[in-house]
Amino acid sequence: MTRRSRRALTATLTALVLLAASVLVALTAVQLALGEPPFLPYDSLVGTVHDLTWSSREVAVAGGVVAAIGLLLLLAAVVPGRARTATLDQHTAVSVRGLRNALRSAAVVDGVESAAVKVRRRRVRAVVRTRRAVADGLGDAVRTALEHRVGEFALTRPPQVVVRVKALRSTP
């Protein structure tokens, strides 16, 4: 049960382009039906298209552009997005955002000022900041706390935990 990211941006852009084209065609059709001059000069467009042949450069360029756009849309549909869930067992999953928030709260142990956590498929990276002048052992304490919290989630593939400690420099 791996939920993938939605292609909301791709779908929205495609829908807006198709909507704009449809509105343009409908507007021109209504103007022609009412006997008014159309927004798009229909006669000049038809004349230009009528003079083109299949072997002309304009047709080849337009076909290449349409084929490239179609290929990009196909790739956007086929290539899987980033997983938004981490699998607990065959029927249960936890959101990556929820897991990240739980791990961030677990990373704030004694001496940690703030923590930033990135959750990936095989690795959890935590960057903790401390005001201590000597941060010996703090990384191990944070790693232990994070590994314990990851163990509580009982993920099917527990990620490797990597901790980096940054000491905030205070000016005297």
What band does 3 get if pLDDT is binned at 50, 70 and 90? Answer: low
For the chain, the domains span 8-78, 85-167
Give residue-wise pLDDT tens across range 34-74: 988 888 787 787 888 888 888 889 999 999 999 999 898 88
Q: What is the DSSP string of 9-50?
A: HHHHHHHHHHHHHHHHHHHHHHHHHTTSPPSS-HHHHHHHHH
Check: CATH 3.30.70.1350 for 85-167?
Answer: yes
Q: What percent of the chain has pLDDT over 90?
A: 31
pTM above 0.75, yes or no: no
Report the greatest alpha carbon distance in the chain.
83
Are the CB atoms for 93 and 86 separated by under 8 Å?
A: yes
Q: Single out the residue of 148, 131, 137, 88 nearest to residue 161, CA to CA.
A: 148
